[in-house]
Amino acid sequence: MKLKRMTALAMAAVIAAGTLATGCGSGLKADAVVATVNGKEISLGLANCLAQYTAVTYDTYYMQYFGADMWTRDTGGTTMTDSVKENTLEQLEEYYLLEEHMGDYGVTLSADDTAAIEKAAAQFFSDNTEEALKAMGATEEYVKEMLRLGTLQKKMRDAIVADVDKNVPDEECAQKTISYVRVSKSAGSTDDAEKKDEASAAKEAKEKAQKILDAAQSGSQEDPLKAAAEKEEATVSTCSYGKNDLEESEEVTPPLDIEALKAADKLKEKELSKNLIETDKYYYIVRMDSLFDEEATENERKSIISERERERYTETVDGYKASADWTVDAKVWEPVNFETIYTRPQSATGADAGAASGAAATP
């Protein structure tokens, strides 16, 4: 799991619910050294505070899907608690290694940066109750340090990727866009008593798909494919793809079955497939909407640049880590847990969460 990188604006109000546990803010020896990186000592208090703040996001967004036991549920020999704790320490290692190399890139924290950190920290303490702050182990020292490190990481990332090649020619990122209807061959039910014979289900799927194709080919509506699909209670979807998506490779996951994309790629603009396209699980009807989708192409160009930046940043940080002297005291870190359930205030959930917490840069 990747954690969000904090910037000077990325602290939102939280609510602590339930009974405070010793694994949270209270009961821990905050000044104990949980890890060191190149001689720099990292306190348990700081690491715990960052871990607990991360737990806020997980409680808010994931508990509704995974349930109240999500922190302790075993998933292949590990738990979400283990993952968040491991990533928290790795994040702190990364932060302090980046700080060591600020001089390499001429990065400094300006007076404006410091002022923004002070303001964000003050707002955070103003917005939160003593109960929530105690549960997180959030002191002024730790919150300001978290914000400082997050701000530094953002500035270092920008500097590291500043000279990444941003020239992406059209032939590398060009995207075509199709509309398609997909009809599943599956019987659908997992109840053996009700499940249809798979062959019968596939036959029905083919008949349904053929009805849609025939109606779309002969339709006179503004969008005959949509009208034909709706008549058969099916849905028209869209998909953009590029040349790389047509190559069968373990490194590339195409947005649609590759057989469907290859068939679509033979169509002219606005042309509808003349025959059904069959794959292992589906029947497809496709229409070529655009042989060069400008908006999708620009999005792909940005995605390629973003991936180049991510690779540069990751390679740089991994290089720092490879030569770093990094140690963790597992016994000191062991008591940290997420037994206190955190939520965000109602105004900072859903669509408002991003506005409340600010932008986060993730390498």
Mind listing the domains of the chain with CATH numbers?
15-165+302-357 (1.10.4030), 176-291 (3.10.50)
* Residue 155 structure tokens: 């500035």
Residues near 95 by beta carbon (within 8 Å), at least 6 away in sequence: 149, 150, 152, 153
Q: Which of 230, 256, 234 has the alpha carbon at shortest distance from 245?
A: 256
361: phi then psi, degrees, rounded to nearest 5: -100, 125
**What whole-number distance in Å separates Cα of residue 323 and Cα of residue 314?**
15
C-alpha closest to that of 91 among 172, 211, 3 = 3
User: In this predicted model, what pLDDT tens digit does every residue of 255-277 receive, in sequence order?
Assistant: 999 999 999 999 999 999 999 99
284-328, pLDDT tens digit by residue?
Answer: 999 999 999 999 999 999 999 999 999 999 999 999 999 999 999
Question: Phi and psi of 93, rounded to 5°?
Answer: -60, -45
* Distance separating alpha carbons of residues 56 and 35, to the nearest angstrom: 23
Structure tokens at 101: 């190399």
Pairing state of beta strands 341-343 and 326-328? unpaired
State yes or no: pLDDT of 162 exceeds 50: yes
Question: Which one-letter amino acid corresponds to residue 60?
Answer: T
Structure tokens at 284: 């497809």
The overall average pLDDT reported for the chain is 87
Over residues 93-130, the pLDDT tens digits come to 999 999 999 999 999 999 999 999 999 999 999 989 89
pTM for this model (two decimals): 0.81
Confidence of residue 252 (pLDDT cuts 50, 70, 90): confident
Q: What are the tokens at 47?
A: 């690491």
